[in-house]
Structure 1
Amino acid sequence: MPVPKWLLRVLGFKVAIPPALVRFGHVLASAAFIAAGFGLYAFIAETDTLVCDRGTGQCTLTQATLTGTTVRRFPVAALTGAEIGARPTGMGGWRMRGVGGSSVVLLTGDEKVFLASYDSSFYEDQMKRQVEDVRRFVSTPSQAALGIRQDSHTLAAVAGGIVSLFGGAMLIFSLREKLRGK
């Protein structure tokens, strides 16, 4: 009865793994990283647009992701302010860390409405400007309209792109001999 190869490895004997099998493993790992990069983009990317019009007395918040679009309406009078806060887990953004990242939070009476979240200080100035825009709109009844747009596609593209590029580099490295014609 032959001795299993895994036992030979444990005991210190060298067992040759066919190069084609190693290359196949590298290709599978590369494909997993490339798919994870695209999945990360789909997971993070979100565009939120808030339009408030005193003429109609309505605010419309449109939240668009790759999985669908949600439209929410509420009265302009319900909008009492805005702040920057942590978006709860499960509301988009970086759910896997337990915190949804920083987000502009619209204060509407007893309810908080969260816009797209960013897990990066790069967007901090933009969020501060948007909070000030909302506060100015609330405190200035003569201002006819308010428009805010938050887009996390750039952040999602960078994060997903890095992971996908790593997978692509792994793929090229693992297939370099095949690509050279050897």
Structure 2
Amino acid sequence: KAALPNVRVVVANPRSFTYLDARRYFVVSDQIVGVKEDERSLSEDKGTLTPFNNFELRSPSAAEENECNSFNKYEWGLDPDERVPAPYVINNVQKLIDHGDNTELFCRYASRDVVYLTGQRDIETLSAENRYQGLHGDRFQGPSRRERSERFFASLQVRGRELEFCGRISGEATQVHERHIVKQVAHDHALMFSSPEGIQAMFG
């Protein structure tokens, strides 16, 4: 039997991410934490816009969930959404979640070869086109595409450490997937994929 080909998925600047559990990054206290515009424009290539020291990955409180009770519905999470039918999620993905335990699902996803690309200048606050993607999207995933990317990627690393990277720990540093910031690029997929980072991600 012929070996299956290796497949790499390269994800570039998505507007939102499908989280594998109900946890999101929330500020630790009631203090409003933000990044000034001049700090955004001068951000280091490998820096983060989210001040993670002031955030924690956790399930929302009842009050927070009341702000947007669809925050974990597909395509922002894996709960069913009657407005966005997803037979694959219902018939395949949900079977890998055992009474809220997503270990099997996470380890299967973590075993895939995935690279996330995010534009260094893709820091514009997303407009309130609808209830979730605007104000509530900012609250649950982050105000810009770059911040949403870094928060989702950070959440994968947290879950990976909780599961000891699904038994794949070795003497070397271990992480779930790869993420690269494309220098001097905003929300432009042509520039993303033709950049040195994009070409390296696709062709090695």
Same fold (TM over 0.5): no
| TM-score (norm: length of structure 2) | 0.20
Greater helix content: 1
| TM-score (norm: length of structure 1) | 0.21
Larger radius of gyration: 1
